[in-house]
Structure 1
Amino acid sequence: MTSSVNVPSICAVPPEVTAGADGLPWIEDAGRVAPRDARELSRLFLDRLRVLEEGTAEHQYARNTLIEMNLSLVAFAARRFRNRGGGETEDILQVGTIGLIKAIDRFDLSREVEFTSFAIPYIVGEMKRFFRDTTWAVHVPRRLQELRVALAKSKEALSTALNRQPTVAELAAHLDLTEEEVVEGLVAANGYVAGSLDSPAGDDETDTTGPRYADMVGDVDPALGLFEDLHALGPLLQDLGERDRAIIEMRFGQEMTQADIGRELNVSQMHVSRLLSRILTRLRTGLLST
């Protein structure tokens, strides 16, 4: 009996799962355990699961109970995909449960990490893999769809074996294909699904603190407008008289003051100001009319 968990479905461990499972309460309906209580109980069950012999009734009970107690994590993760389409809710929950099971089998209490924090990336990862393998944003031939799935599996297997991303040649050898066929499959993979602009832009799809794709979308470069203006200004400058071009060159090319230009031309600063105003008005009018 666990006094800290107020769930009527928890009672004494039945005789068939008593051996080697001391300290584990019997939970009649693990799906009804509140999430807060499930967090506390999960640590207890995960701790005992590591010392129970796989294949025994005790091990099976502990593992199944952990899965049922934490199905709320799968439902929670599935909400972020509710508007994505490409799969029924039941399918998403099923693949999410696969991620939950992987998290249970790989969790290590010695890491001092909350199980929920550890499990969510596994669950979300399986859901994303489901969409990656079953949905496409644009139509591609079935042959390329199947090749995309084969490439994804081969990349995962080779990455684990090589401890790095495989090359096109290695993928081709692994799948007994030509390098041209592999490249064709990789290019076709770009049409699998339109990702959200809020998705992480890095390799780690579980990183929610890094840059998003939206942060990397290009914006209008102000230099483009400047280039267009200068391109249109060229012929207008050519139409100016020699002295007017010299004044523009001194004022804006050499960044001379009006007083310096006046001394260079042997005229007053006021006269230079009037000349500049006339020249700039002419150029501005010419730009607006182009």
Structure 2
Amino acid sequence: MAVLQGTAPAHELTDLTDLGAAAPAAVPAARIEAPGAVAPADAKELSRDLLVRLGSLEEGSSEYSYVRGTLVELNATLVRFAARRFASRSEPMEDILQVGTIGLIKAIDRFDPAREVEFTTFALPTIIGEMKRFFRDTSWMVHVPRGMQELRLALARASDELEQLLDRRPTPAELAAHLGLEEREVIEGMKASNAYAAQSLDIPTDGEEPAAVLGARHAVEEKGFEAVLHLETLKPLVAALPERDRAVLSMRFGAEMTQSQIGEQLGVSQMQVSRILTRILKHLRTGLLAD
């Protein structure tokens, strides 16, 4: 059994509030060895006394930090208990426990020992609420406003209830009447629900071809994509060219001038312009392939 250093075992401890009242504020509270190993019954009693003491300490002091941290360790089992409800979720359990610990800290900070309620009764809803908020904010493939997320849940519950009553899927108008909303709001909520999860483009479809996938049905070839990709790749190569070479490229491919017209601008022959262009394009092609 974990004990306070220099004190009797936990079940024989006097109320820590008495200890705090009898000693000056500067006197540190008795330390608890291995708070995480304290038995549940003892942890409950110690938490009650430490919560009272926490309220008498100055926030930010070392003693306040110690008591607060000890309370977190003593009640870590509450976080693990709450996390079991979400064990089937895709999020890593480590992340769920971390979020639950944040909820536990919030519960410690908000708890009022003067109220006749057990800390566990107060803390569990706070911890679970923090976990649910985490799932609500991270589980959507595309982030939508929180109001839309809550509307999706309301629509799902209402749809299940009406489907049992009507023996068919309810219409948006029926859902709107059931929830006291406008039909437009219901339709927006139904559209927002599509953002909750995304389907892989590689999943098989019911097409005639055995290897048909969803991506083959909806994919569209963007003809301009390759041109944009090449242009972005060429930008730094063109920027590194001498000024005269950049001018030749601009006149030939920007202003669409003929080689003769470019020659007149530069005071050179058409043959020389052709050689200049060949050299420039060879240099750009080499740099493009190298990248």
TM-score tier by shorter-chain length is 0.3 to 0.5
Question: What TM-score, normalized by structure 1, do the two folds share?
Answer: 0.45
Question: What TM-score, normalized by structure 2, do the two folds share?
Answer: 0.45
